[in-house]
């Protein structure tokens, strides 16, 4: 066997719940645990991420890292003459990333083998004696209970922080208020950097040695997309640094410096990023006044073509999105796509967004998107229908993003002639939105009953009945590819 001390230490796998300090287990009087070897856990001991029981001579292949490994020593046959064996045993636990070793006294051994104590001291592995009255399942249950308590405390802290940030964002000076709230919640400093890298606003105190490093870190997230990451982390001495790009690709960045990291810090920072992205967005300031003017003119009867330039673009893309809905989720999506024009309560339970056509629509984690073709303000109603159809297709085909594309045939026929032909061909279905929508979706999904049912959220038998009704009203054979092509062209001309 190769030298076990030469094995690299395995990085612990991060569990979905906060780890439990070993000191918290040692403090439980009902467990009666006692540390016999290794660094003092009550001072700065390891954190337990899992509990695993094993009597294997080599537990390495079965450990994820971060475990409190419990054993009764069944595999130790001769405690008095097992120094080399226990040395290799402990080294393998350390190599696997084990957090601590718990040894159960009785029924196999009356005491913890001295050679095991010596080996744990040698490798720096905390060794805990488990008394006979304490079962291994009781230790595991205590760990899970402490994890649940820590998770509850983390969620409460995150919720309170999000509420505080939202309140700060509603104040007359929202940006400095959000930065002050963020710095207070994280126990550190929060700095807002402009597109040129200059420090615009700051709250909290940053050590001089860390200030330059924090500014350099924000340069990483301010690089032009798509090379720039959304966030980055580093350290300067004992100071933890984090940088976040603010949505919209405008070059703003948030820098955070803290002396310690707590569970939930990243989530709290994420909420601040969403709010600051909106507060520093292009829709603020002068462009906000232009947008208000555009809305007033539209309400007073001005044609849409006149409104477009006031909003900053002659062509627009409509996006329909469906995903996890939270109070900040629609705003977060808008910030990620770089727009402030968002309707969080759009049609069919979908969020609707309006983007300048020169702004790229990209897939976003947690969302399914459908995007229209670029359209002038006067054709936004048709673009809205295109985005709705694209979203249904994206959901049916399980794609994160589907874009609407005009058929190449449309460019060969005059628009008025195409529209007239479409109205005549589809006249038997006029006024029946359910049949028209079902036929359009069914054709777009190549006649798939199941995927059409998923896209429309109806039973597949309903789809069959509607398609049969369409076939009867149109007097056409929908199994004929020529008929399908003609109908698809006609449907593409209607909204």
Would you say the C-alpha torsion 388, 392, 393, 395 has a positive or negative sign? positive
Q: How many residues does the chain have?
A: 495
Q: What is the topology classification, in CATH, of domain 4-134? A: 3.40.1390
pLDDT at 344: 75
- Annotate 373-392 with three-state secondary structure: CCECHHHHHHHHHHHHHHHH
Lowest mean pLDDT across 142-146, 256-260, 333-337, 369-373:
333-337
Are the folds of 4-134 and 410-492 the same? no
Query: What is the number of alpha carbons within 13 Å of residue 211 lying toward its C-beta?
Result: 9
Compute the distance between CA of residue 254 and CA of residue 243 in angstroms, rounded to an integer.
6
Q: What is the pLDDT of residues 471-487, one digit of tens each?
A: 888 888 888 888 888 88
Q: What is the CATH architecture assignment of 165-279? A: 2-Layer Sandwich (3.30)
- Which pLDDT belongs to residue 201? 83
Predicted local distance difference test score (pLDDT) of residue 126: 95
Q: Binning pLDDT at 50, 70 and 90, where does residue 10 land? A: very low
- State percent of the chain over pLDDT 70: 82
Topology classification of domain 410-492: Arc Repressor Mutant, subunit A (1.10.10)
C-alpha distances (whole Å) from 430 to each of 20, 246, 342, 382, 427 are: 65, 47, 31, 17, 5
Instruction: Say yes or no to pLDDT of 320 above 70.
Output: yes
Q: What is the pLDDT of residue 363?
A: 84
* Prediction pTM value: 0.46
Question: Going by C-beta distance under 8 Å and a sequence separation of 6 or more, which residues neighbour residue 211?
Answer: 257
**Partners of residue 69 on adjacent β-strands:** 52, 101
Q: Is the peptide bond between 226 and the residue preceding it cis, with omega within 30 degrees of 0?
A: yes
| Residue 426, pLDDT score | 83
pLDDT digits (tens, 9 = 90+) for 177-229: 899 999 999 999 999 888 778 888 889 888 877 888 888 888 888 776 556 67
pLDDT band at 25 (very low <50, low <70, confident <90, very high): very high
H-state helical runs in 70-135: 83-95, 114-123
Res 14: pLDDT: 52
Cα dihedral angle (233, 234, 240, 241), rounded to 10 degrees? -60
What angle is formed at CA 281 by the lines to CA 168 and CA 374, rounded to 5 degrees?
Answer: 140
Given pLDDT bands bounded at 50, 70 and 90, which one contains residue 8?
Answer: very low
Cα distance between residue 199 and residue 216, in whole Å = 12
Instruction: For residues 96 and 10, give the distance between their C-alpha atoms in angstroms, rounded to a whole number.
Output: 5
Contact 150, 17 (CB under 8 A): yes
Can you give the residue ranges of every domain in the chain? 4-134, 165-279, 283-311, 313-405, 410-492
Residue 495 Cα distances to 80, 271, 275, 310, 436, angstroms: 85, 37, 35, 26, 10
Side-chain-side CA neighbours of 239 within 13 Å: the count stands at 21
pLDDT in tens, 448-472: 888 888 888 889 899 999 999 988 8
């Amino acid at each position: 066997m190769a030298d076990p001390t030469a094995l690299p230490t395995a990085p612990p796998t991060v569990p979905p719940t906060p780890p439990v300090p070993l000191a918290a287990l040692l403090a439980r009087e009902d467990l009666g645990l006692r540390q016999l070897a290794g660094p003092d856990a009550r001072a700065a001991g390891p954190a337990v991420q899992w509990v695993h029981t094993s009597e294997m001579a080599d537990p390495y292949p079965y450990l994820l890292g971060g475990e409190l490994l419990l054993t009764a020593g069944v595999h130790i046959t001769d405690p008095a003459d097992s120094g080399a064996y226990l040395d290799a045993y402990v080294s393998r636990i350390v190599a696997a990333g084990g957090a601590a070793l718990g040894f159960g006294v009785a029924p196999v051994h009356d005491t913890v083998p001295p050679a095991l104590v010596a080996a744990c001291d040698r490798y720096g592995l905390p060794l805990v004696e488990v008394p006979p009255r304490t079962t291994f399942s009781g230790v595991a249950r205590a760990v899970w209970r402490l994890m649940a308590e820590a998770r509850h405390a983390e969620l409460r802290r995150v919720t309170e922080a999000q509420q505080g940030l939202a309140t700060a964002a509603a104040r007359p000076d929202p940006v400095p208020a959000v930065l002050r709230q963020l710095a207070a919640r994280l126990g550190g400093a929060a700095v807002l950097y402009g597109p040129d890298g200059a420090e615009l606003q700051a709250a909290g105190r940053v050590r001089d040695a860390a200030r330059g490093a924090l500014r350099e870190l924000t340069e990483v997230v301010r690089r032009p997309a798509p090379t720039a990451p959304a966030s980055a982390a580093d350290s300067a001495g004992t100071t933890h640094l984090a940088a976040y790009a603010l949505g919209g690709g405008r070059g703003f960045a948030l820098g955070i410096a803290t002396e310690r990291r707590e569970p939930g810090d990243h989530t709290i920072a994420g909420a601040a990023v969403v709010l600051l992205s909106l507060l520093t967005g292009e829709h603020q300031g002068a462009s906000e006044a232009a947008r208000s003017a555009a809305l007033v003119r539209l309400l007073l009867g001005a044609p849409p073509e006149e409104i477009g330039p006031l909003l900053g673009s002659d062509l627009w893309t409509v996006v329909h999105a469906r995903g996890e809905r939270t109070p900040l989720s629609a705003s977060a999506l808008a910030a990620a796509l770089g727009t402030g024009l968002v309707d969080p309560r759009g049609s069919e339970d979908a969020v609707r967004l309006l983007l300048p056509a020169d702004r790229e629509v990209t897939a976003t984690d947690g969302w399914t998107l459908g995007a229209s073709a670029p359209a002038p303000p006067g054709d936004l109603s048709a673009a809205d229908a295109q985005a709705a159809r694209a979203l249904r297709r994206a959901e049916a085909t399980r794609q994160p993003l589907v874009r609407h594309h005009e058929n190449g045939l449309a460019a060969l026929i005059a628009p008025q002639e195409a529209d007239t032909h479409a109205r005549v061909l589809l006249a038997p279905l006029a006024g029946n939105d359910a049949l028209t929508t079902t036929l359009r979706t069914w054709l777009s999904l190549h006649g798939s009953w199941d995927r059409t049912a998923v896209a429309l959220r109806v039973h597949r038998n309903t789809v069959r009945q509607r398609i049969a009704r369409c076939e009867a009203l149109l007097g056409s054979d929908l199994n004929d590819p020529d008929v399908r092509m003609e109908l698809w062209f006609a449907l593409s001309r209607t909204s």
